[in-house]
Chains A and B, each alone.
Chain A
Amino acid sequence: MERNPMRRQLQTMRKSLFDQGHLDEQFVQLEELQDDANPNFVEEVVTLYYRDSARIILNIEQALERKPFDFNKLDAYMHQFKGSSSSIGAKKVKAESTVFREYCRSRNGEGCMRSFQQLKKEYATLRRKLEAYFQVARQAGPMETACRPK
């Protein structure tokens, strides 16, 4: 049982991120890359993700303002976004990306717009939760891991 209250809070937040389906196994893989040489690896990767993906979100928003929709272009943007989101383990965001792509393939503009709104919500929610998580992580200090040094 973790005695340090900040560590306990961190564990609770982390478990909640998985239990609520925001994150998947990929996030655990990223955590395993974090070590003394790269103590902030996960936060750095997540920060880069939000920076990179903001551009794609903007591209999709602009593409959805142009009628008629270019579904091939929308699909291509979302393909890239899905790959990025998968790489940090953003489970709900990734799932909604798949829904959006299905609507692109069936040329359903209304569906695309609804799905995109939902995706932006999930994306923003995850960002908020991860920012809070990393803030506590920084205060709690480095966690000892069971990882064997290479």
Chain B
Amino acid sequence: MAPAFPSGDDWTNFGIGGRPNYKRFSFRDIVLRNRLTALVVDGVNFCRMVEEGFLRACGVETQGVDNGDAAVELIASGAKFDLIVIDMYLPILDGLETTRRIRAMGTRCKMVGVSASFSERDGQAFLAAGVDALSEKPLSPEILVPILRELDGQYSSI
């Protein structure tokens, strides 16, 4: 499950410009040495915009689709990604089934499942369907940055 995020109550000190002085992961802290690509599958337009924005801020080439069917078609057409971020609740084809179909096509890339909240059962189901990690919305840098570093490191060791 996604780690607890610092709450607004933890911001006790604001520097000039109004930025909190709390030390935390930031999407802009990561510097990738290799070209990484990602697909965001989220039916809510502005959520997808935010998720794509975070990935691009990390230096990842990112595409987005708004439903599961489109994601499956894209992968079936031969598109390859290092990372797929996928919402559990999607229109047309839901996140669980989309994940199963993507995995059934032989896709072995890292997949992160996202949702507004995960019950234990939902989380287990999503992991069983084939995602490697879970993140409650909003997409957490604590989850994403280590994954990107790992993927970046895999390329560097080749």
Contacts and interface: CB of A to CB of B under 8 A. Distances in A.
Given A25-B24, A145-B17, A79 B54 contact: no
- Size band of the interface chain B makes with A: 35 or more
Given A32-B26, A32-B57, A25 B5 contact: yes
B28 A80 contact: no
Interface centre among B8, B45, B87 (most CB of A within 10 A): B8
Contacts of B3: none
A79 B116 contact: yes
B136 A33 contact: no
A49 B137 CA distance: 14
A83 B44 contact: yes
Interface in A1-45: 1-2, 10-11, 14-15, 18, 21, 23-26, 28-30, 32-33, 38, 41, 44-45
A48 B59 CA distance: 24
B116 A82 contact: yes
A58 interface: no
Interface string B14-39: 10111110001011100000000000
Interface in A112-150: 143, 145-148, 150
A29 B54 contact: yes
**Which are the 9 A-B pairs with shortest beta-carbon distances?**
A83-B116, A48-B46, A82-B116, A83-B137, A24-B8, A33-B53, A14-B18, A87-B138, A26-B138
